Amino acid sequence: MDFAFDAPLWRWQGEASWHFIALPEEVTDEIEDSPIARGGFGSVRVSVQVGATSWSTSVFPDKSRGTFILPVKRQVRDREGLAEGDLVHVQLSTAD
């Protein structure tokens, strides 16, 4: 399944400086309703493109937000010039 959406980059409020993008509810609903294999913690393997940067990772369910969250590593943020609060255009494909 392929998705494209815009969502803000946010920082996890904790000791680690993790940054994430929350998937829109409709994207989360489609992923949850599909027969995709799940990994640890309910994760789903995905391929992602932001700007000119592509990578493979997993999205993870976040019960407090009611959606999946996409981790965005520092290398990606630096390469694409992203900062907390930026609206990011994401192209995401679930791994089949």
pLDDT tens per residue across span 69-81: 999 999 999 999 9
Token couple for 88? 């990011």
H or E segment and range at residue 30: helix 25-33
Amino acid 78: pLDDT? 97
- Which of the following CATH numbers is that of domain 2-94: 3.40.50.300, 3.90.1150.10, 2.40.30.100, 1.10.1060.10? 2.40.30.100
**pTM as predicted:** 0.91
Q: Sign of the C-alpha dihedral, residues 77, 5, 71, 50? A: negative
| Per-residue pLDDT tens over the stretch 39-59 | 888 899 999 999 999 999 999
Instruction: Give the residue extent of every domain in the chain.
Output: 2-94
The closest of 36, 11, 42 to 92, measured between CA atoms, is: 36
Residue 96 confidence class, pLDDT cut points 50, 70, 90: low
H or E segment and range at residue 67: strand 67-71
